[in-house]
Amino acid sequence: MIQGVSWKNVRPSDIIFPQLGISGIPPEIPSWGNIMSEGRTFFQLTPWIIFYPGVCLAVTVLAVNVVGDGLRDTLDPRIARNMR
């Protein structure tokens, strides 16, 4: 059985700091932040090691923001009342 992410076990530092390489996530666990952190040493030879995870991270943040704005526009009665 596949279990989903338990958000109560996710620390804010695990979300905010991974791309800086200073989070509490161990290096053996793959994440976009760890991939980018490891790629810093090879940036001169292979810049795409940092580029593609960075683009994925930016697109994910943008998508979550757009979905959040859409949910707020749909579910907030004050905004729905003003849009009519």
Element (H, E) at 73: helix 48-75
Q: What is the pLDDT of residues 23-34, one digit of tens each?
A: 566 777 777 877
- Look up the domain containing 69 and give its range: 7-83
Q: Tokens 């991939």 belong to which residue?
A: 35
Would the pTM count as exceeding 0.75?
Answer: no
Evaluate whether residue 11 is within a structural domain.
yes
Evaluate whether residue 78 is within a structural domain.
yes
SS3 of residue 6 by DSSP? coil
Task: Report the distance separating Cα 29 and Cα 38, nearest Å.
Answer: 12
pLDDT recorded at residue 9: 54
pLDDT recorded at residue 1: 41
Nearest 10 degrees: Cα torsion 52, 7, 4, 33: 20
Higher pLDDT, 74 or 15: 74
Task: Report the distance separating Cα 60 and Cα 18, nearest Å.
Answer: 14
Evaluate whether residue 1 is within a structural domain.
no
Tally the domains of the chain.
1
Q: Is the pLDDT of residue 46 over 70?
A: yes
